[in-house]
Chain A
Amino acid sequence: MSETHYLKTPLSKADIMKITAGDIVYISGTIYTARDEAHLRILEYDDENKPLPFDLTGAAVYHCGPVMKRENGEWKAVASGPTTSDRMTKMTPEVLKNHDIRVLIGKGGMEGLAETMALRNCIYLSYTGGCAALAVDMIQSVGGAAWEDLGMPEAVWELQVENFGPLITGIDTKGNDLFKAVKEKSRESFQKQFE
């Protein structure tokens, strides 16, 4: 039976190590959006030993390129669902090695990352893809963007969230990967049908 957890950032190892794949999670606090170009730039900064303009210690990183609009000088989220996480899979081991990120949020899973997640004490949470209007309701405020030159979808947005979820734990710190289990069953079905 799956459990429900309520987390608050900054996150500690203890916060996430008790969570098992399949568990439901809600997050409150600060989350940072980051997708392809932001991952590349984080690694560039790391290579040059340059400090990042945001703090990833105990952070939750959200694979998301939101629609934002500026109202009375302040940014407001218009639509903010998750993007396909697997595009970030290749860059993630290095990013997790360099930064104590505890939670990744996205959709579609990250193939072959369970071992890295166990090693780096990080979990992967799945938010329902396309549910951009629902996600906005859980964003209290937008703290602003770093690296706006990357364009609206690729910039790093600081979001203050309240009970952001329900998120389904896809990968835990114990080597479990929900998406991998589903994929294995799918592959069996395919083999039965065609091989």
Chain B
Amino acid sequence: MKNQKQREFQMSVEIKNLTFEAVSQAVAEILKISETTLPKDTADAIGRAASKESDPAAKSQLEMILKNIEIAGKRGVPICQDTGIFIFFIEIGRSLRLDFDLEGAIRNGCADATEKIPLRPNVVDPLTRLNTKNNLGNGLPEINYSFVSGKNLKITVAPKGAGSENMSALKMFTPTEIPKIKEFIVKTVLDAGGKPCPPVILGIGIGGSFNQSAKLSKEALLEELRDPDVKTGPNAYEDFEKEILNAVNDLGIGCMGLGGDTTALSVRIKKASCHTASLPVAVNIQCWANRHAAAEYNGGGN
């Protein structure tokens, strides 16, 4: 068990044994961490936005957000009452042997965390709207699997609230419309206005298939946020991220849509190859509560 200070920085826990119980417990633990503390890169980005904000109303809103983050962390209560639906990204080492129901362990951890933290039961039937009361449902939590080399298991959770998710968009461009991509992204933020709880983070997925681009946009939100004032190197995608960020912040939507300098804290792009005739672009909007945490099992032999 790591101490609180380390946790806040690393936002990760260690899975000691590869058993149903240990994985379930680790899942409940990373849900608690992600719901009650923000990753350092995000808290820092909000801090930078607050310190350079020229609009006094926006500045006071950003300061309230910082105070809220502090209180939530201190008391171990959710940062936001929309504790989201749970999106999992699982990396499985190819040489790892799993002889228990991994998905069952994850679901068990979700139900446990919902009851004990507690979290808001958000999962309902899409048409009858009947609430399952434990945050489990058909296809939820969402679990994405990928294989990596080695013997490790990594479980990342990103709870996602509806305010920002509802404002996300996907467009199938034609190959000659590359110059239109930026406009589409900025228009998505313009239409969203104050609704997704700005300052937002934009996850952009470019390429792949229809659904791949959406998945890429969500994965992009797990990337470390860039400080727009620090350039890490010559990179066409980094330049494009910055160009989009500047265009979005020029809109002046500001914190909560009440006007201000910072509408977005960061833009991250992930790409995949695509069909020669298509160009999918997905924009996944993330509110300032950019929550995620990870648990890892080290199987050795990497």
Contacts and interface: CB of A to CB of B under 8 A. Distances in A.
Contact of A86 (B77, B195, B289): B195
A131 B68 contact: yes
B187 A190 contact: yes
Highest count of chain B CB atoms <10 Å: which of A78, A79, A179, A187? A79
A189 B252 contact: yes
Interface residues of A, number: 49
Interface in A156-188: 166, 168, 170, 178-179, 181-183, 185-187
Does more than half of chain B's interface fall in helix, strand or loop, or is it mixed? loop
B195 A84 contact: yes
A185 B263 CA distance: 13
Interface in B170-210: 183, 186-187, 190, 193-197
Interface in B253-296: 253-259, 287-289
A67 B82 CA distance: 8
A179 B287 contact: no
Contacts of B83: 67, 79
Interface string B59-79: 011001101100110010111
Contact of B163 (A66, A83, A151, A185): A83
Nearest to B36: A133
Contacts of B187: 190, 194
B256 A108 contact: yes
Contacts of A186: 190, 193, 251-253
Contact of A107 (B77, B118, B256): B256
B79 A182 contact: no
A79 B163 CA distance: 16
Given A108-B195, A182-B258, A166 B60 contact: yes
Interface stretch (B120-128, B151-159, B222-230): B120-128
A72 interface: no
Contacts of B124: 151
Contact of B82 (A22, A65, A69): A65
B81 A134 contact: no
Nearest to A194: B183
B119 interface: yes
Contacts of B131: 150-154
A121 interface: no
B120 A153 contact: yes
Contact of B65 (A37, A66, A83, A130): A130
A53 interface: no
Nearest to A193: B247
Which 3 pairs, one residue from A and one from B, show the smallest C-beta to C-beta distance? A151-B131, A129-B197, A79-B81
7 contacts: A109-B195, A130-B289, A132-B72, A133-B79, A182-B254, A186-B190, A190-B251
